């Protein structure tokens, strides 16, 4: 017998996620010389996204040593959280008035944090910079918070428009939330200077704003210590603060979904309130986080030899990103700002039509906002990317300094 109604017929149609759709389009392209500068994963000079050596070793040890897969609880692996806190804060323990919770990736951390804010401050508005990772606003809106935007990136200087940011934040009210990228901004590769972090910390303290730092690329910018400086200053000086951490990129455990949420609160009773609420939220979202990836990260950080090997491989990754940045920057003056940016991404001033055209003509796959994944480039394809995009950059006369012969060949 037919049901009298269709259960899902009233749903609003949704567009596929643009970044995930781009991965599928790239895979389906038969061209051997196609270039993937789309999704944010690290790639080697030969285009692979390998499992890191220390991760492989820890996984092998885990396979041998693990005697039970019984539940750990909604807070997940507490030693893992403590070790990640050590990376973030530089201090051995979770410290006073701080609570850490293991989450499925940085996204899980952002979502628990957002749900916690809804409970604590339902009228709070979340201020996010433009542009930002496309999933930020949906996470906060999905939890029920109002999202406001402030200027962040200035395409004319390819840097941060800090004055415009501060001017817009004059509208923020006490109890509002300020979302900040800890380092290696996605999608622009720009980063706050120490002085700007200090100013933002003062702003949050003086105006009663709650900083929520998204730290997803520690170690891929200037170094593990350097990339944490801004977050450290903020956490040390602003009494109520939150931080979402992702191990997806710096341990290359993307699909294992490894992350943590840290909450600092000004008094012990309010911290306990935040803690018990965060745990009930996590319980209702995923009950308990997946263990494998966090256990592997914990084993690496707890073992001096594995840790040293992980740090070494991460440093190699960071150096390769820097080399590619230097290569792009020296290929043409219009690309010079790329050298001052950090992490996986830079954003080129190229419009959606031109992006579609370079995809069609050159097999270059980048999202519609002009973001490029620096790690998708190598010595073999860098000049082809430059030649593909250069004619579309404002102010370009359409020729690459680095590879005139290839440019001539393409324009012939």
Note whether 40 binds ligand LMR by CB under 6 A: yes
DSSP H stretches of helix in 247-389: 268-285, 292-302, 304-331, 352-362, 382-389
Among 89, 132, 186, 218, binds ligand LMR (CB under 6 A): 186
How, if at all, do strands 371-373 and 345-347 pair?
A: antiparallel
> Residue 249 catalytic?
yes
Total residues binding ligand LMR (CB under 6 A): 6
- In angstroms, rounded to a whole number, what is the distance separating the alpha carbons of residues 34 and 388? 11
- In angstroms, rounded to a whole number, what is the distance separating the alpha carbons of residues 130 and 72? 39
DSSP H stretches of helix in 29-121: 53-65, 78-89, 105-120
Among 39, 137, 393, 401, binds ligand LMR (CB under 6 A): 39
Q: Which of 54, 114, 216, 375 is catalytic?
A: 216
Backbone Cα Rg of the chain: 22
- In angstroms, rounded to a whole number, what is the distance separating the alpha carbons of residues 302 and 296? 10
First to last CA, the chain: 67
Note whether 133 binds ligand LMR by CB under 6 A: yes
Note whether 26 binds ligand LMR by CB under 6 A: no
Note whether 199 binds ligand LMR by CB under 6 A: no
Q: Are 263 and 270 in contact (CB under 8 A)?
A: no
Closest distance of CB 5 from ligand LMR, Å? 35
Question: Which sign does the torsion angle of CA 95, 238, 77, 227 carry?
Answer: negative
DSSP state of 308: H
Q: Which is nearer to ligand LMR, 221 or 391 (CB)?
A: 221
- In angstroms, rounded to a whole number, what is the distance separating the alpha carbons of residues 325 and 311? 21
Q: Which residue is nearest to ligand LMR (CB)?
A: 40
Closest distance of CB 216 from ligand LMR, Å? 7
Q: Which is nearer to ligand LMR, 133 or 310 (CB)?
A: 133
Q: Which of 57, 77, 176, 214 is catalytic?
A: 214
> Residue 56 catalytic?
no
Closest distance of CB 38 from ligand LMR, Å? 7
Note whether 137 binds ligand LMR by CB under 6 A: no
Note whether 365 binds ligand LMR by CB under 6 A: no
Q: Which of 85, 127, 133, 197 is catalytic?
A: 133
> Residue 197 catalytic?
no
The token duo for 380 is: 């073999």
Note whether 19 binds ligand LMR by CB under 6 A: yes
Closest distance of CB 32 from ligand LMR, Å? 24
Note whether 140 binds ligand LMR by CB under 6 A: no
Note whether 99 binds ligand LMR by CB under 6 A: no
DSSP symbols for 261-277: EEEE-SSHHHHHHHHHH
Q: Are 178 and 169 in contact (CB under 8 A)?
A: yes
Question: Which sign does the torsion angle of CA 198, 200, 206, 211 carry?
Answer: negative
> Residue 133 catalytic?
yes
User: Which residues have a catalytic role annotated?
Assistant: 133, 214, 216, 249
Chain residues binding ligand LMR by CB under 6 A are 19, 39-40, 133, 135, 186
């Amino acid at each position: 017998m037919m049901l009298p109604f269709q259960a899902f017929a009233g749903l609003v149609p949704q567009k596929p996620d643009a970044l995930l759709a781009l991965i599928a389009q790239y895979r389906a392209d038969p061209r051997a010389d196609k270039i993937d500068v789309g999704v944010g994963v690290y790639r080697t000079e030969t285009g692979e996204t390998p499992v890191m050596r220390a991760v492989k070793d820890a996984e092998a040890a885990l396979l041998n040593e693990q005697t039970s897969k019984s539940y750990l609880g909604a807070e997940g692996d507490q030693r893992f959280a403590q070790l990640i806190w050590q990376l973030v804060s530089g201090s051995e323990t979770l410290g006073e008035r701080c609570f850490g919770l293991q989450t499925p990736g940085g996204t899980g951390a952002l979502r628990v944090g957002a749900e916690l804010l809804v409970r604590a401050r339902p009228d709070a508005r979340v201020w996010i910079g433009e542009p930002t990772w496309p999933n930020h606003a949906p996470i906060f809106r999905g939890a029920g918070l109002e999202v406001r935007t402030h200027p962040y990136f200035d395409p004319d200087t390819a840097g941060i428009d800090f004055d415009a940011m501060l001017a817009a934040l004059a509208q923020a009210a006490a109890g509002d939330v300020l979302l900040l990228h800890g380092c290696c901004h996605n999608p622009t590769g720009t980063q706050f200077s120490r002085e700007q972090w200090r100013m933002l910390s003062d702003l949050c303290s003086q105006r009663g704003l709650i900083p929520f730092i998204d730290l997803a690329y520690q170690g891929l910018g200037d170094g593990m210590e350097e990339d944490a400086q801004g977050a450290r200053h903020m956490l040390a000086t602003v009494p109520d603060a939150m931080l979402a951490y992702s191990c997806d990129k710096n341990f290359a455990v993307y699909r294992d979904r490894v992350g943590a949420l840290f909450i600092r609160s000004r008094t012990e009773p309010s911290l306990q309130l935040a803690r018990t609420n965060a745990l009930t939220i996590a319980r209702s979202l995923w009950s308990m986080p997946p263990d494998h990836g966090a256990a592997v990260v914990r084993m690496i950080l707890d073992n001096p030899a594995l840790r040293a090997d992980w740090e070494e491989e991460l440093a190699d990754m960071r150096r390769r990103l820097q080399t590619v940045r230097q290569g792009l920057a020296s290929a043409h003056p219009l690309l010079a700002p790329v050298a001052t940016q950090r992490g996986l991404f830079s954003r080129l001033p190229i419009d959606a039509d031109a992006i579609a055209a370079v995809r069609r003509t050159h097999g270059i796959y980048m999202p519609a906002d002009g973001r490029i994944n620096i790690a998708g480039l190598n010595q073999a394809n860098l000049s082809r990317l430059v030649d593909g995009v250069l004619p579309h950059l404002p102010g370009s006369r359409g020729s690459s300094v680095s590879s005139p012969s290839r440019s001539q060949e393409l324009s012939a």
